[in-house]
């Protein structure tokens, strides 16, 4: 079970009905996206990864800039391979150009 504490969601103080609905929809969409990711990741792993393991792996993944390229700054595991399988980028196996690295970082923040 995925808990609010695992997502590190802080307290939210909303009172207006439209803001409460917007917050609920945002949380529901984030949980839905995470569940889809979890299902795809676990379909490619030899053992099931827990929600906590996936969140920890995502938080520990760093992309570092070395000169004019971006590359992985984390240890490669079966879980990180599964997370990158459908992402279209493999910073653990390739050097990303400045433009592609910035685009990937910007997309990850959305």
Model pTM? 0.68
- Give residue-wise pLDDT tens across range 49-105: 998 899 899 888 887 888 888 788 888 889 988 888 867 667 667 777 777 666 766
Strand order in the sheet with 96-97: 63-66, 69-72, 96-97
Whole-Å CA distances, 47 to 42, 52, 78:
7, 14, 10
Q: Say which residue, 34 or 97, is predicted with more confidence.
A: 34
Inter-residue contact 81 to 87 (CB < 8 Å): no
- Which pLDDT band, with edges at 50, 70 and 90, does 2 fall under? low
Q: What is the spatial distance between Cα 29 and Cα 87, in angstroms, rounded to a whole number?
A: 19
């Amino acid at each position: 079970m995925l808990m609010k504490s695992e997502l590190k969601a802080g307290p939210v103080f909303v009172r207006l009905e439209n803001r409460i609905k917007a917050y609920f929809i945002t949380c529901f969409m984030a949980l839905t996206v995470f569940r889809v990711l979890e299902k795809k990741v676990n379909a490619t792993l030899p053992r099931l990864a827990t929600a906590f393991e996936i969140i920890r792996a995502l938080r520990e993944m760093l992309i570092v800039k070395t000169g004019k390229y971006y590359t992985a700054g984390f240890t490669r595991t079966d879980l990180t391979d599964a997370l990158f399988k459908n992402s279209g980028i493999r910073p653990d196996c390739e050097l990303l150009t400045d433009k592609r690295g910035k685009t990937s970082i910007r997309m990850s923040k959305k």
